[in-house]
Structure 1
Amino acid sequence: MLVDLPGGTFTMGSDQHYPEEAPSHRVRVDAFSIDATQVTNADFAAFVEATGYVTVAERELDPVDFPDAPAENLVPGSMVFTPTRGPVDLRHLSQWWRWKPGACWRHPSGPRSTIDHRLDHPVVHVAHEDAAAYAAWVGAALPTEAEWEYAARGGLEGAAYTWGDEPRPGGRIMANTWDGPDFPWRSSGESGFQRTAPVGSFPANGYGLYDMAGNVWEWTDDWWTERHPAEVDKPCCIPSNPRPGSREHSYDPAQPQFEIARKVVKGGSHLCADTYCLRYRPAARRPQMIDTGTSHQGFRCVRRVEEGAGHER
């Protein structure tokens, strides 16, 4: 279901949290419609059945692209979260992420897992082109970062979270995030979910949108930038529908071995722990290589005036 938003002016970003969220600045977005929930496994399965689409995680790898890799490693797969056996140095995320051959949207935890009982969970292990292909099929698009953040804020100007400024108002759990302080090895299970949750399991924001915080990270269609542009000093010059990034500047200079462009992902996931990754907030943003899906990354779509009808969901 699409929710119609009127568009407007809002303060994007944050000066109070992580450096890449700054500076906060005023922007305008035009009216658009956005999915009330993240795209589900059932939604994506209908797309695949109708089109025969094969996701990046399911495609055979070309040895030419990996000249130094052993042949036995050149198999389709994806990145799956794997809890550690105890406390670890949180600076090294390779300790809880594993490349699993056979992991894909159909098999989210590895080749022996299924989505049979997860049809109402968000689809995961989708690369950017997979998400964009689905969006095109339904006559929509992936949101810009500004559209996504405007929608996530739900009309609450400057609030830290999609529901206000308190992480747990009145002790209520508002999103599917990591429970307890012991990331990445032990979750307290307070929320009732250890991994993804069915979409809409937690309260909607002020615009009637679900899971704009937590559950799975969501692709946007904007190239990564290390910081936001500076605030303008005149009301007449507030950027409208901004798209500040570019492909050539989206690469990570700290990781020259990964010559892969990156898009912005938003919203945080079920792995966001307050002690490690306080990113289940509207302003939070992270870079994601466009060819890589993970077990905690999905998407939702938007429709603008210029988008066609596509396939009705």
Structure 2
Amino acid sequence: MRALALVCLGLLLALPAVAADYVALPGGRFTSVLPADGKAAAAQVAPFRLRTELVTNAEFLAFVKAHPQWQRDKVARILADARYLTQWASTDTLGDEVLPRQPVTRVSWFAAQAYCESEQARLPSWYEWEFAAAADATRRDARADPAWRESILGWYSRPSSTALPEIGGAANVYGVRDINGLVWEWVDDFNALMVASDSRDQGDPDLLKFCGAGALSMQEKENYAVLMRIAMLSAMKAADTTNNMGFRCAKSD
């Protein structure tokens, strides 16, 4: 009986702490700011499912309690830098300054990937994220609309020291919330988004390191907000954490 109980406990720990909602996206052929062939080829995205909301502090807290190797005092430094989850009051307490429904930040790529695995999921690829982020409330691709682009650029005027809002913004046409305008988001292949060859060696990852020359090969340059995300991601290392980097998970269909 004891052995059976231990097996059952192990299965419970493997389950996600919260039953997250995932929505189906159809995928398809679309023009990415990063051409598939490095020149002009369109990207092809297979159908996939995406988490409708960002992972929250409460959800990640439940994850580290179930998987204590990801608590900030136990995680290996090769997997997360010294700022990992330092906004929390303690290793297993959010505290008064951190809201349960805020998106979790100061998480490394390694930690984000581990969380997604606990939901039998993974981090989305850049093309998957870009495909979902191109939509607004009524259109699958709103990127040609100057007003849409301006609304997204407005987010960049918010000081990074400002407390993050809670999740739950208006959904886009797919039912995905807060994919623009709340936090930066990890993607699975972030280290393949090469904007500048030396961008990973430029100090504080909270500062945006954007190399204009490196962007000349990119398409859709008017979508500056998307290019800024690529610049940010290409400046990161997998163990880095920042005040405004969160994540959501995806699943292959």
Short-chain TM bin: 0.5 to 0.7
Taking the TM superposition and a 5 Å limit, the aligned residue runs for 1:130-149 are 130-149=111-130
Aligned with residue 285 of structure 1, among 202, 206, 230: 230
Q: Per the alignment, do residues 257 and 6 of structure 1 end up closer, same or farther by CA in structure 2, a change over 3 Å counting?
A: closer
Q: Report the Cα distance in structure 2 between the residues aligned to 1:144 and 1:46, rounded to whole angstroms.
A: 25
Give the secondary structure class of the aligned counterpart of 2:60. Answer: helix
Give the secondary structure class of the aligned counterpart of 1:221. Answer: coil
Measure how far apart 1:254 and its partner are. 5.6
Give the secondary structure class of the aligned counterpart of 2:24. Answer: strand
Structure number with higher strand proportion: 1
Matched, 1:49 2:71: no
Q: Report the Cα distance in structure 1 between the residues aligned to 2:248 and 2:179, rounded to whole angstroms.
A: 10
Q: Report the Cα distance in structure 2 between the residues aligned to 1:145 and 1:255, rounded to whole angstroms.
A: 18
TM-score (ref. length: structure 2):
0.65
Cα contact 2:54–2:246 (8 A) shared by 1: yes
Give the secondary structure class of the aligned counterpart of 1:77. Answer: coil
The aligned counterpart of 2:178 is 211
Structure number with higher helix proportion: 2
Give the secondary structure class of the aligned counterpart of 2:115. Answer: helix
Aligned with residue 300 of structure 1, among 228, 242, 248: 248
Taking the TM superposition and a 5 Å limit, the aligned residue runs for 1:109-258 are 114=95, 117-154=98-135, 155-157=139-141, 159=143, 164-167=145-148, 177-179=155-157, 194-201=162-169, 203-222=170-189, 223-226=191-194, 252-253=197-198
Measure how far apart 1:77 and its partner are. 3.1
Aligned residues: 201
Measure how far apart 1:104 and its partner are. 2.3
Cα contact 1:37–1:209 (8 A) shared by 2: yes
| AA matched with 2:86 | C
Measure how far apart 1:299 and its partner are. 0.4
Measure how far apart 1:174 and its partner are. 6.6
Matched, 1:6 2:26: yes
Q: Report the Cα distance in structure 1 between the residues aligned to 2:226 and 2:177, rounded to whole angstroms.
A: 13
Could you give the per-residue CA deviations for residues 183-203 of structure 1, whole angstroms, max 9, x where no partner exists?
Answer: 679xxxxxxxx33111123x2
The aligned counterpart of 2:207 is none
Measure how far apart 1:45 and its partner are. 1.3
Question: Can you give the 5+ residue segments of structure 2 that lack an aligned partner in the other structure?
Answer: 1-20, 204-222
Q: Report the Cα distance in structure 2 between the residues aligned to 1:118 and 1:26, rounded to whole angstroms.
A: 40
Q: Report the Cα distance in structure 2 between the residues aligned to 1:130 and 1:184, rounded to whole angstroms.
A: 22
| AA matched with 1:224 | A
| AA matched with 1:217 | W
Q: Report the Cα distance in structure 2 between the residues aligned to 1:196 and 1:224, rounded to whole angstroms.
A: 28
Q: Per the alignment, do residues 207 and 129 of structure 1 end up closer, same or farther by CA in structure 2, a change over 3 Å counting?
A: same
Could you give the per-residue CA deviations for residues 281-300 of structure 1, whole angstroms, max 9, x where no partner exists?
Answer: 48841311111111110100
The aligned counterpart of 1:98 is none
Question: Can you give the 5+ residue segments of structure 1 that lack an aligned partner in the other structure?
Answer: 16-21, 66-75, 79-101, 186-193, 228-250, 259-277, 306-313
Q: Per the alignment, do residues 184 and 36 of structure 1 end up closer, same or farther by CA in structure 2, a change over 3 Å counting?
A: closer
Could you give the per-residue CA deviations for residues 253-294 of structure 1, whole angstroms, max 9, x where no partner exists?
Answer: 366588xxxxxxxxxxxxxxxxxxx85448841311111111
| AA matched with 1:212 | I
Give the secondary structure class of the aligned counterpart of 1:303. Answer: strand
The aligned counterpart of 1:243 is none
Q: CA RMSD in A?
A: 3.7
Aligned with residue 54 of structure 2, among 34, 38, 41: 38
Q: Report the Cα distance in structure 2 between the residues aligned to 1:168 and 1:29, rounded to whole angstroms.
A: 22
Q: Per the alignment, do residues 168 and 5 of structure 1 end up closer, same or farther by CA in structure 2, a change over 3 Å counting?
A: closer
Taking the TM superposition and a 5 Å limit, the aligned residue runs for 1:13-92 are 13=33, 25-55=41-71, 58-59=73-74, 77-78=82-83
| AA matched with 2:127 | A
Cα contact 1:218–1:300 (8 A) shared by 2: yes
- Taking only the aligned residue pairs, the percentage that are identical comes to 26
